[in-house]
């Protein structure tokens, strides 16, 4: 009996899912439930059922906070369907484990060690010490920021749409932009182009995007900065890279689109500056646009692709390879050029395993984008290469910007983009680790070998 008990315990232990596996499966469950609800007649404006593939595509895009849509969000879905999308965005942006833990705390129940480990993996923090307190602070902070967004946006939407509709519009777009989702309900795939000359709306949503994309760890440190008077190396790297991308991107868009008659040429100087800022912030996973993406110059489109690939920061509502990953790799390149053995950032040495992980993330991401773009050239032959690369990078970075490809995708194309949105949100390395059984390396060290590179 003892032997049988031991065998049974070992089998059960082997069948237990790891934290990354639970997170990966959890996102799939949320997507499928959301897709089933959206496919029902009660979710569409016409009262007709929606194709299950289109409904699941929308649920995937919302849960993965992307914003790519095959049907127009403002006209195809009724208020119930839009509310379902809004809830999926909030769950996908803040993390379903955060919501589960939040509800557990409200019910007065104790959060188990397993749940704390899941929260650590979902929020991408350094450890589980104080994780529950940090989660509650993050949820509180997120709700407050979104509420502030609602109040500011309501000053613009209520006079235009009336009290009820104006408040709903304010709530939907505050949640969508803070969670870096890129969904809008203005209709006709217009995004924020109808408000290109409204700096209040554009600067508000841009601020929400930027705050949501910084990462929860950074937000907590910034909140406590007045008391602690210090920032961790992680926060310094994130803020430094984010600042360079926003300011550098805005300057480049300003120069590239300044004389483009189809985008910013006819705008005032102030509107050009504001729209350049939006064009710089939004591609880093938010997916809103205040100028036509299809009318941009080729250089503007390619810069957008680069920003979409980089994305936001770890532990945030954003996707992409992440700013800190870029910072570590750039630091490594600089150290190689200077002839230094270790990667150094802000006078701190970066462990080699983090450098390897950063290189692995970028390598996997580049492979995914290249392979999916190649597949789309086969399934979507009517579009040029840049449009398909744009679409692929947007899906991987969970951005939501498109050059008009998404609504015309074939069935195979929709499945491919859905898969990429999922991989981009959960994280390609997370999915790889969830699928593989990791084995710790032994103490064996092989003899060194040399390979010519460069």
Residue by residue, DSSP assigns 35-81 as: HHHHTSGGGBTTSSPPPHHHHHHHHHHHHTT----SS-HHHHB-HHH
In contact, 387 and 404? CB cutoff 8 Å:
yes
Q: Is 437 a residue whose pLDDT tops 70?
A: no
Q: Rg of the Cα trace of the chain?
A: 22
List C-alpha distances in Å: 399 to 165, 249, 279: 26, 16, 12
Q: Where along the chain do its domains lie?
A: 17-434
Confidence of residue 369 (pLDDT cuts 50, 70, 90): very high
pLDDT, tens digit, 9 for 90 and up, residues 144-186 = 999 999 999 999 999 999 999 999 999 999 999 998 888 999 9
Q: Which comes out higher in pLDDT, residue 216 or 441?
A: 216
pTM here?
A: 0.83
Q: Which of 338, 366, 374, 375 is nearest to 428 (CA)?
A: 366
Q: Which of 155, 214, 209 is nearest to 182 (CA)?
A: 209
Q: What percent of the chain has pLDDT over 70?
A: 81
Q: Is 279 a residue whose pLDDT tops 70?
A: yes
Q: Which of 61, 27, 56, 53 is nearest to 421 (CA)?
A: 61
Q: Which of 242, 257, 372 is nearest to 303 (CA)?
A: 257
Q: Is 297 a residue whose pLDDT tops 80?
A: yes
Q: Give the model's pLDDT for residue 152.
A: 97
Q: Is 25 a residue whose pLDDT tops 80?
A: no
Q: What is the DSSP letter of 263?
A: T
Confidence of residue 8 (pLDDT cuts 50, 70, 90): very low
List C-alpha distances in Å: 94 to 86, 142, 150, 163, 322: 12, 8, 17, 28, 17
Confidence of residue 50 (pLDDT cuts 50, 70, 90): very high
Mean of the pLDDT values across residues 227-232?
Answer: 84
Q: Is 388 a residue whose pLDDT tops 80?
A: yes
Q: What is the largest CA-CA distance in the chain?
A: 83
In contact, 289 and 301? CB cutoff 8 Å:
no
């Amino acid at each position: 009996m003892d032997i049988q008990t031991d065998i049974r315990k070992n089998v059960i232990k082997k069948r237990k899912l790891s934290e990354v596996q639970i997170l990966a499966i959890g996102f799939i469950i949320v997507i499928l439930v959301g897709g089933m609800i959206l496919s029902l007649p009660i979710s569409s404006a016409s009262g007709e059922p929606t194709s299950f593939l289109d409904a699941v595509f929308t649920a995937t895009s919302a849960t993965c906070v992307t914003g790519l849509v095959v049907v127009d969000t403002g006209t195809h879905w009724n208020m119930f369907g839009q509310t379902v999308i809004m809830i999926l965005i909030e769950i996908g942006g803040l993390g379903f484990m955060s919501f589960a833990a939040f509800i557990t705390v409200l019910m007065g129940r104790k959060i188990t060690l397993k749940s704390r480990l899941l929260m650590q993996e979902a929020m991408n923090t350094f450890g589980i010490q104080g994780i529950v307190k940090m989660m509650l602070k993050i949820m509180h902070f997120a709700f407050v920021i979104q509420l502030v967004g609602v109040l500011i946006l309501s000053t613009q939407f209520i006079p235009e749409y009336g009290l009820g509709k104006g408040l709903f519009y304010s709530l939907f777009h505050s949640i969508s932009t803070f969670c870096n989702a890129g969904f809008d309900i203005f209709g006709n795939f217009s995004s924020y182009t109808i408000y290109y000359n409204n700096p209040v709306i554009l600067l508000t949503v841009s601020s929400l995007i930027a705050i949501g994309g910084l990462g929860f760890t950074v937000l907590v440190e910034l909140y406590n900065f007045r008391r602690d008077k210090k920032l961790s190396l992680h926060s310094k790297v994130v803020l430094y890279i984010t600042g360079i991308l926003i300011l550098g991107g805005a300057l480049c868009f300003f120069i590239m689109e300044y004389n483009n008659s189809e985008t910013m040429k006819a705008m005032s100087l102030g509107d050009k500056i504001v729209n350049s800022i939006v064009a710089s912030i939004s591609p880093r996973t938010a997916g809103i646009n205040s100028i036509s993406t299809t009318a941009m110059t080729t250089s503007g489109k390619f810069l957008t692709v680069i920003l979409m690939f980089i994305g936001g920061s770890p532990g945030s509502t954003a996707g992409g390879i992440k700013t800190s990953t870029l910072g570590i790799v750039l630091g490594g390149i600089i150290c190689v050029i200077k002839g230094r053995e270790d990667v150094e950032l802000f006078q701190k040495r970066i462990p080699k395993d983090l450098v390897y992980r950063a290189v692995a993330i970028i390598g996997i991401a580049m492979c995914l984008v290249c392979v999916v773009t190649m597949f789309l050239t086969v399934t979507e032959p009517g579009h040029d290469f840049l449009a398909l690369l744009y679409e692929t990078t947007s899906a991987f970075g969970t951005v939501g910007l498109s050059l008009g490809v998404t609504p015309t995708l074939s069935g195979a194309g929709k499945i491919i983009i859905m898969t990429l949105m999922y991989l981009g949100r959960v994280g390609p390395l997370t999915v790889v680790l969830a699928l593989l059984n990791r084995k710790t390396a032994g103490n064996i060290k092989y003899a060194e070998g040399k390979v010519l590179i460069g």
